[in-house]
Structure 1
Amino acid sequence: MSAPSSSRTNLSDLIRDIETSASADRDLAARALGIVRDGVITGEGPTTEGRVHFSRAIDAVDVAWCMRILNAMAVADLPVSRAEAETLFQINEAASERNDDGRFDDLFAKAIVHHAASASGLPVPPRSVALSPDTAIESWAPTQAIGVNIEVLEWIAAQMRGKRRSNRKLMALVATLIGAATLPLIALPNVFDLGM
């Protein structure tokens, strides 16, 4: 079953707007990521056309859609927004099957940390650098809690809590930052479920 043509047009319009617009609208990028999420969940829709795609699976093409959206011209110079980060958390949770050689996990961790650092007022590199598979997250991510907004860390921890799929790299960075922020170590299990 193919997606209605309005979905295709909607995605085409969103992609065109975020790839060619001079004015930034991260909400459009979050909406486009939502279409990728829907394709991951159902295995159908404009991001899955022309290929076999199983529901609840993510593959290299899905990751390429995410990269294309997150690095589009209209948002390239902006930090990853909360709406974009929330949609990436939803994609992460929806994709129980991974056929992407770890590419989504890498992108996901980098995008979430990019959001956390920028929302805390810390400098972050442009998305094209920070989200690149060729850039190590450790080369730019904060390693100390100095200046990191605790509310942002708590939000990330709440997104991770109780999820069946965890991202070890993201969990390690968050645990390091929370620990450095002098939260008692005993509180860590309450921040997120450490069972992996």
Structure 2
Amino acid sequence: MAKPGLEEFVAAKIAAGHVSEDDVITLRRYIYGDMAVSLAEGAALFKLNNAGLDYAGTWYELFPEAVGDILVHQARPEGYVSQESADWLIGQITADGRICTRTELDAVLHVLEKAREAPESLEQFALRAVAKSVISGTGVTRSGNELKPGVIADGEVELLRRVLYAGAGSRGIAISKAEAEVLFDLNDATIEAENAPAWSELFAKAVANYLMAMSGFTPPPREIALAREDWLDQPGGFDGGLGGFFKKMFGGGVGGIREAYADRPDPFAARGAAMEAEIAVNEVVTEDEAAWLVNRIGRDGVLHENERALLCFIREESPNIHPALRPLMEKLA
């Protein structure tokens, strides 16, 4: 009797309702038999994943690995994910009309973390998938922890942090405007919820990182800026560690930024001369920057604490406050 093809094997597993350890080994033989993974084979794996079966633990290793091989390691040049490939991946995930699952998110993050360069749309897709899961209470989790709609728990904070880390490779150091927009949207949607303290920390750090870049400063690398520090739990409270670094920027204006960098070990101290030159040129918030801030900060009609902190940062950092920002600044009194 002839050996069934991959499509037939996948159909049989879907009918059986489970994928065993031996099945995963068989799947590996199918897709890696010719030392490469085709788009058709990738689509078959997505079909199997979308069936919502009982999967062996090794399935969660094979799935992101195979997707990564298709889009990253087999790319020409290797490591550079094309827009066409990113669109294929997003299309496979959204084909069933359901929100991105944790297994699918793992595949996206695997691609982003392994790629030298990837389209921003792919990282944005992952970030919005986590945000949607937080708001709806369904989606990107397979850890067994139940999501509570509209509440950002520690697990979701760490997923967001991982997505933001993964986006660093394809777009450089700074948090982008699009990323800041998603974080603001999520903050607005959960402002009254009992969110994990780590969310406030991540939100403030990430948006401050964007504001620094928006105003022309050189922000710290994402792995430094977004590292979890538990600011309020450190000896000395908010003044400890990177909490102190960002507090100086929030409360000390341009001088605070200089002081924050001066207090950090190399390579931060070595940036002093370049930082001075950038500050001299880029101290003023432009009209476009002011319009973005007015649109985002206090959009829901209430000025919340983390938004107040961001406004304080802008007020102290810029010697000439744009007129569009003055109504918001007056609320800080």
**TM-score w.r.t. structure 1 length?**
0.79
The structure whose residues are more often helix, as a share, is 2
1:118 aligns with 2:228: no
Amino acid of the structure 2 residue aligned with 1:37: A
For the Cα contact (< 8 Å) 1:162–1:193, is it kept in 2?
no
Matches of 1:139 and 1:129, distance apart in 2: 16
Matches of 1:82 and 1:48, distance apart in 2: 30
| 1:63 CA displacement | 0.2
Question: How many residues align structurally?
Answer: 190
1:12 aligns with 2:106: yes
| 1:170 CA displacement | 4.2
Q: Cα deviation per residue 1:6-56 (whole Å; 9 max; x = unaligned)?
A: 422542332112111111544322221101111111100124762221211
Q: Cα deviation per residue 1:32-91 (whole Å; 9 max; x = unaligned)?
A: 110111111110012476222121111000000011111126258421011111111111
Q: Cα deviation per residue 1:119-157 (whole Å; 9 max; x = unaligned)?
A: 232111101111123322135668238624333244123
For the Cα contact (< 8 Å) 1:76–1:128, is it kept in 2?
no
Amino acid of the structure 2 residue aligned with 1:98: E
Q: 1:58 to 1:193 in 2, by over 3 A?
A: farther
Matches of 1:126 and 1:186, distance apart in 2: 30
- Alignment-derived partner of residue 147 in structure 2: 53
Query: Which residue, 92, 98, 102 being the options, matches 2:194?
Result: 98
- Alignment-derived partner of residue 143 in structure 1: 253
Deviates more, 1:139-148 or 1:171-180: 139-148
- Alignment-derived partner of residue 174 in structure 1: 311
**Taking every aligned residue pair, what percent have the same amino acid on both sides?**
24
| Structure 2 residues without counterparts, runs of 5 or longer | 1-48, 51-92, 94-99, 230-241, 255-278
Higher relative contact order (CA 8 A, sep 6+): 1
| Structure 1 residues without counterparts, runs of 5 or longer | none
**3-state SS of 2:152 partner:** strand
Q: 1:97 to 1:169 in 2, by over 3 A?
A: closer
- Alignment-derived partner of residue 204 in structure 2: 109
Bigger radius of gyration: 2
Query: Which residue, 62, 71, 85 being the options, matches 2:156?
Result: 62
**TM-score w.r.t. structure 2 length?**
0.49
Amino acid of the structure 2 residue aligned with 1:163: D
Query: Which residue, 22, 35, 54 being the options, matches 2:129?
Result: 35
Within 5 Å, give how 1:79-90 maps onto structure 2.
79-90=174-185
| 1:92 CA displacement | 0.8
Matches of 1:183 and 1:120, distance apart in 2: 12
For the Cα contact (< 8 Å) 2:175–2:207, is it kept in 1?
yes
For the Cα contact (< 8 Å) 2:205–2:225, is it kept in 1?
yes
Q: 1:103 to 1:169 in 2, by over 3 A?
A: same
